[in-house]
Amino acid sequence: MTAYNAADSIARCMESILAQSFRDFELLILNDGSTDRTEEVIGRYDDPRIRYFSHPNQGVALTRQKGLDLAEGRFSIFVDSDDWIEADMLEGMHRKQEETDADMVLCDLVEEFGSRTVYKRQNPGTTDSRTVQYKLLNELHAGMVNKLIRHSLYSRYDIRFLSGVNCCEDQLLLIRLLAAPLKVAYVEKAYYHYDKSINEGSITNRWHQRPVKEWLLLLQAMEPCLQDAEARKAFDAYAAGRLYDATWAGEDGEADYRQLYTLYKACLDRAPLPMKKKLICHLRYAGLGPLIRLARQIRA
């Protein structure tokens, strides 16, 4: 679990983990330079399974990587500090792994919006890792929170989080990992609760504030892993979406945007993106970024 200024939510998350019916696990908590009472809240819990680490803020990618480097279990799974899990999550996913000898086990999740919930079914419909790989681009939940993964795979295939990519960093790691011939299994139960009422201020919801350079690094690292026809089709749609997202970034990213546009214009042309969004991408490339951002502010 990575944590950054999570004092208001981390207790709920920790309690849901420590209440697991499956008891043989370690909980690594990595405090990424929080400036609120996060450390104080964590310190209230006295459980030998907790291993706590704190360091100056360095971003979620490097913090997640530290967690992978320190983990000692045979399998690992990430949990976000503002979410929570069902008490039988580890037991159910571990049971499925033992039944199937899978390298990765997926489960369903529930998106929480305060008084409203949305059930998100995550059945990949296959045990083939390459198919699951491209489905993570546009169909399945792309985070690591609903995926139990054989921990030795990271070192076997030399897969690490990419420094400089702090949005979709987990999606990128999964895409790279699933390029290997892994066996995937699925549990049809929503063990994970993704709190989107809290996450409205999170990094994934500040989507349009991401530096253009970050999208560029993401796509350049991801593209070589997606080579067959179906994967390329999915990547076209994904790259076009990130190119559109980048149109809203600040003026300091003009050079990076021009490079991003040049590299992935062909994806934009092929993708089933609405013509209006494609036009906005072309206008940003033509130097009309300030006008686009002004129009968005007026609309907001």
Considering the domain architecture, whether residues 77 and 222 belong to the same structural domain is answered as no
Question: pLDDT confidence of 204, banded at 50, 70, 90?
Answer: very low
Arithmetic mean of pLDDT over the chain: 93
- Tell me: do 188 and 61 sit in the same domain: yes
Q: Does residue 127 share a domain with residue 51? A: yes
Cβ partners under 8 Å of residue 256, min gap 6:
211, 212, 213, 216
pLDDT of residue 251: 64
* Whether residue 39 is found in the same domain as residue 125: yes
Q: Are residues 187 and 269 in the same domain?
A: no
Q: What is the structure's pLDDT at 47?
A: 97
Residues 109 and 185 in one domain: yes
Q: Which of 166, 201, 236 is the last residue of a domain?
A: 201
Last residue of a domain, one of 201, 224, 243: 201
Say yes or no: 40 and 179 in one domain: yes
Task: Give residue-wise pLDDT tens across range 267-294.
Answer: 999 999 999 999 999 999 998 877 877 7
Residues 8, 98 within the same domain: yes
Q: What is the pTM of this model?
A: 0.92
Domain boundary among 201, 225, 245: 201
* Residue 224 confidence (pLDDT): 96
Mean pLDDT of 43-54: 97
pLDDT value at residue 206: 60
Same domain membership, residue 113 and residue 248:
no
Which string of b and e fits 201-222 if b means at least 16 CB within 10 Å?
eebbeeeeebbbbbbbbbbebb
Q: What is the tens place of the pLDDT at every residue in 85-106? A: 999 999 999 999 999 999 999 9
**Whether 211 and 167 share a structural domain:** no
Residue 11, Cβ neighbours under 10 Å: how many?
A: 15
CATH code, domain with 146: 3.90.550.10
pLDDT band per the 50, 70, 90 thresholds, residue 23: very high
pLDDT of res. 150: 98
Report d(CA 137, CA 146) in Å as an integer. Answer: 16
Query: What is the band of 253 on the pLDDT scale with cuts at 50, 70, 90?
Result: confident
Full residue range of the structural domain in which residue 214 is found: 207-299
Q: Which helix (H) or strand (E) holds 108?
A: strand 104-113
User: DSSP 3-state assignment of 147?
Assistant: strand
Q: How far apart are CA 153 and CA 50, in angstroms?
A: 24
Domain count, the chain: 2
Q: Are 120 and 110 in contact (CB under 8 A)?
A: yes
User: Is residue 226 within 8 Å of 234, Cβ to Cβ?
Assistant: yes
Which residue blocks in the chain are alpha helix, DSSP H? Answer: 10-18, 38-42, 60-70, 89-100, 129-138, 152-156, 169-177, 212-222, 229-246, 254-270, 275-285, 289-299
